[in-house]
Chains A and B, each alone.
Chain A
Amino acid sequence: MTAPTTTHPARTTRSGGVRPVHLWLGAGVLAVGSYLSLGVGASSVGVVDLLNPSPEAWHILTTSRIPRLIAILLAGASLSVAGLIMQRITANRFVSPSTSGTVEAAVLGILIATMFFGGTSLIVKMGIAIVTAIAGTLIFLQMLQRIQHREGIVVALVGLMYGGVLAAITTFVAYQRDLIQYLDIWTTGSFSSVLEGRYEPLYIVLVVGIIGYVFADKFTVIGMGESFATNLGLNYQRILYIGLIVVSVMAAVVVVVVGAIPFLGLIVPNVVTLLLGDNIKKVLPLTALAGAGFVLACDVAGRVIIHPYELPVATIAGAIGGVVFIWLILRSAKGASV
């Protein structure tokens, strides 16, 4: 596994692959976008004030804007990377945390935590959500292995239906306990409540992100099947579980702290690989950058459209993501590479 270029999946790509210039360009654009985003918010601290901030402006920046920016970047990057990893493990472009029941399972976990450990710390909630997310994703992977036609949209459909079943269970339980209106908050990602001291658990995704990067190529290999991976001397089950845990932790942590952001894990890795090829180890950092940039753009739009009020990031990401999702499906239906 020392030469990643040899592990290219059997797919045709139109691109010439990732070059360092792409990475620098992506990082540069994200840095400029991040800087500009610090000048957007309900209070009147604007981009110009950033150059020479007054004490009040500095206070706004450190307690609200900078934590929010970090949360956006971490959430966007991690959900996109989680999607990329899932797509490699399952060798299917339409699999992501939001099309495999992972997010729905995490929401069910939050509901359980709220019912039985109401008002407890974020960490307890997160722990339970991670456990249910892992269990939920595991069940999805088990189902996948029993599906005859593992191509494209069929798998996505199964995942969406499975997620629907989990969501229905969650809704039923929430209905019984009169918690229905809370589901909205958990399933609608929003950064409006992010403040210094209220988002720090998100840093967990950095740690699991690094683990994901280290194992990146192996995820591609196990996606090609158990016998193929075993022939290459890999422990199929172990790599599968590592991938499963990385993806579930990322999805659960983001859902607990900011809520679900629809389609993100599906469309960002797809668009990035369409443009820049399939080599996961090279594409992963760019997927992280692109995911962060996409969520940043959606959140800034949410802060600007009805300023000084806010639209949740999930609303905007859902609208844009849905359109891109349909485009991806139409594209694959036309016989392009899936």
Chain B
Amino acid sequence: MNLRHHAVAATALTAALTLSACGGGSSADDGGGDAAAAGAETISITDAQGRSVDVPVDPETVVVTDWSVIRTLGDLGIEVDAAPTANIDLPDDLAAYVDGDIPTVGTLQEPDYEAINELEPDLIIIAGRSGNPEILAEMEKISPVVLDMSVRYEEPSGQLTVTEERVVQLGSIFAKETEAQEQMDEIMAQVEEVGTAAAETGDTALFVQVSGGTASAYGPGSRFGIVYDAFGYADTGAPVDEEGSHGQEISQEFFTEFNPDVLLVLDRAAAIGADEAPALEVLNNDLVNTTSAATNDKIHVVDGFSWYIANASPSSLRQMIADIEATL
């Protein structure tokens, strides 16, 4: 497997050399771009696929296919040169990407390789829904420097530590390592604080996703396991679901049986920008209304973009903290 990676890297390197030879004239015209092309100053980054990549510091043209990475860079004051199509409602801090001035390069799952190729990027960052070996291989045909900055973790406890690592790595590419570390230190302290407060309430919480009238529950081992692991809520005692990423379909009876004190609701329709029945309408029924969460007014719709679309950036973590604080 390692051998294969080396082979891919070697091919990419050859391609890169050929490409830069061809494009030499144009990059000279750019003036500022030659630092990247010449590789004057590089930093070595180990990405999510275990590759060690030499990345030019402060690269000129940067294409990113993941909103967590874009939001992280935004938190560090960096605007990227191409982003995925925004057919979701973007939060205010990403307003720059709404009006279409910045080129779009396909969807989160399927990048538009031709559009990316035209931009002649000095750095391509894939992650999350596009962070897989197949897309990486395609991207390496386009740019000499490709990174997979996905945040992947086995246990829920990994979410924060891997996120911190990625945020700091991204900071270091743009010479903002210290700033990135400071933001994450602050966030970690806030998580600790909120988590302690939630744990002290002794309340149980249930995280559900509502989509097209159907509800799915997420347990401690799921992609939203951070609710229990870092944010300190107790789980409802429902059997732990093995399926990590998509939750398990539940009936409304489930709510009465496991009677959560706090109900965190991800309105998936709103998160992906679809116009469907709002989640709270689906949950406003005679069964959910008998739960402690309903009677204590602790049913809270979380920010879909931060929890579901881009959960690995400082701003998203701040929003997640705020969502948990709202239930305290």
Contact = CB atoms under 8 A, between A and B. Distances in A.
Given A185-B211, A185-B214, A308-B238, A41 B251 contact: yes
Contacts of A114: 274-276
5 contacts: A60-B287, A63-B285, A119-B277, A309-B249, A310-B250
Interface string A172-185: 00000111011001
Nearest to A186: B212
Given A179-B274, A310-B250, A193 B286 contact: no
Interface string B248-262: 111111101110000
B241 A309 contact: yes
B252 to A, nearest CB: 6
A43 interface: yes
Closest 5 CB pairs between A and B? A118-B275, A309-B248, A185-B212, A43-B257, A42-B254
B85 to A, nearest CB: 8
A195 interface: yes
A60 B291 CA distance: 13
A193 B213 contact: yes
A192 B249 contact: yes
Nearest to B211: A185
B272 interface: yes
Interface of A: 41-44, 59-60, 63-65, 68, 114, 118-119, 177-179, 181-182, 185-186, 190, 192-193, 195-198, 303, 306, 308-312
Given A63-B286, A119-B277, A195-B285, A42 B250 contact: yes
B135 interface: no
Contacts, number: 100
A42 B251 contact: yes
Interface string B186-224: 000000000000000000000000011111010000000
Q: Which has the most chain B C-beta neighbours within 10 Å: A179, A197, A198, A303?
A: A179
Nearest to B219: A309
A179 B249 CA distance: 19
Bin chain B's interface residue count.
35 or more
Q: Which has the most chain B C-beta neighbours within 10 Å: A182, A190, A197, A303?
A: A182
A198 B285 CA distance: 10
Contacts of B31: none
A306 B248 contact: yes
Nearest to A45: B253
A306 B238 CA distance: 12
A124 to B, nearest CB: 13
A118 B276 CA distance: 6
B214 A192 contact: yes
Given A193-B282, A195-B285, A310 B248 contact: yes
B239 interface: yes
Contact of A64 (B238, B253, B258): B253
Contacts of A177: 87
A308 B257 contact: yes
B273 interface: yes
A56 B211 CA distance: 28
B277 A190 contact: no
A43 to B, nearest CB: 4
